[in-house]
A = this chain, B = another copy of it.
Amino acid sequence: MIDIFTTGGTIDKVYFDALSEFQIGPAAIPDMLRENNVHVPHRVTQLMRKDSLELDDADREAIRVAVAASDAARILVTHGTDTMVLTGRVLAGIPGKTIVMTGAMQPASVRASDAEFNVGFALAAVQTLPPGVYIAMNGMIFDPATTVKDRAGQRFVQQ
């Protein structure tokens, strides 16, 4: 069983015409897993719907509590990219679990989105890596302790 927690972020942004803006909508991942014919046992829980720039310490603590309380040994967290590294560091103390974080630079609702690729990538990482916390982005696996987002390059970089 893989426990998937969604927190919002760019991956879940959709355009609302009545508001003339994009906002975080329902989690994209359940439709995505069904449409890609994914058969690995999993369940999806939406913890919050926030841009990761708006996450505060209480939000990160809530994510940590939910992950720690899960009876699953393998946890996937979708998250905005801007503060993914910070949340990853908060999750670092949880023992005995493989925790993989991913997200997207372009919303899943957009044609040129990296969301499907990244979720596919993260779903394999969470099944194969030993316990620990990982960021799965840009086709690479990063340690949140030593990683930063390079906004201009639209990528994560190991320091």
Which residues of A come within 8 Å of B, CB atoms? 10, 13, 15, 17-18, 20-22, 32-33, 35-40, 51, 53, 80-82, 105-107, 109-112, 114, 116-125, 127-129, 136, 138-141, 151-152, 154-155
| 17 additional contacts (CB under 8 A) given A15-B22, A17-B81, A124-B141 | A15-B110, A18-B154, A22-B22, A32-B117, A33-B139, A36-B114, A37-B139, A39-B140, A39-B155, A40-B138, A40-B139, A110-B110, A120-B120, A120-B139, A121-B124, A122-B124, A127-B141
Nearest chain B CB to A49 CB, angstrom units: 14
Complex formed: what's the CA distance from A13 to B110 in Å?
11
Query: Which residue in B13, B20, B106, B154 is a CB contact (below 8 Å) of A51?
Result: B20
- Of A32, A107, A154, chain B has the most CB atoms within 10 Å of the CB of A107
User: Contact: B139 with A36, CB < 8 Å?
Assistant: yes
